[in-house]
Amino acid sequence: MIRWDPEPDADPASGVYTFGGAAPVATWRPGQVLSTWTRDCFGGRVRSTSDMASQVTDPRYLNPQTGPFWIEGAEPGDTVAIHFLSIEPRFDWGVSTTVPFFGSLTATGFTAMLHDPLPERTWFYTIDPQARLVRYAALDSAYEVDLPLDPMHGTVGVAPPLGEVRSSLTPGSWGGNMDTPEMRAGATCYLGVNVAGALLSLGDGHARQGEGETCGVAVECAMNTVAVVDLVKGVPTAWPRLEDDTYLMTTGSARPLEDAFRIAHTELVRWTSELTGLSTMDAYQLVSQTTLTPVANVVDTNYTVVAKMPKSVLRGAVAYGGAHQRLRAAS
Each residue's pLDDT, cut to its tens digit, for the chain (331 residues) gives: 899 998 877 777 788 999 999 999 999 999 999 999 999 999 999 999 999 999 999 988 999 999 999 999 999 999 999 999 999 999 999 999 999 999 999 998 888 999 999 999 999 999 999 999 999 999 999 999 999 999 999 999 999 999 999 999 999 999 999 999 999 999 999 999 999 999 999 999 999 999 999 999 999 999 999 999 999 999 999 999 999 999 999 999 999 999 999 999 999 999 999 999 999 999 999 999 999 999 999 999 999 999 999 999 999 999 999 999 999 997 6
Query: CA 102 to CA 110: how far, in whole Å?
Result: 10
Q: Which of 93, 87, 171 is nearest to 126 (CA)?
A: 93
Query: CA 11 to CA 9: how far, in whole Å?
Result: 7
Residues 263 and 200 occupy one common structural domain: no
Query: CA 225 to CA 202: how far, in whole Å?
Result: 10
Quickly list H helices, the chain: 53-56, 257-276, 280-290, 323-328
Strand partners, 307: 250
- Residue 12: the pLDDT is 76
Total domains, the chain: 2
- Residue 59: the pLDDT is 87
DSSP per residue, 69-83? EEETT--TT-EEEEE
- Residue 109: the pLDDT is 86
Q: The CATH number of the domain where 274 resides is what?
A: 3.10.28.20
CA quadruple 100, 104, 109, 112: dihedral sign:
negative
- Residue 331: the pLDDT is 67
Domain end, chosen from 197, 232, 267, is at 232
Residues 194 and 263 occupy one common structural domain: no
- Residue 48: the pLDDT is 97
Domain end, chosen from 232, 266, 299, is at 232
- Residue 9: the pLDDT is 74
Domain containing 80 equals 2-232
- Residue 13: the pLDDT is 76
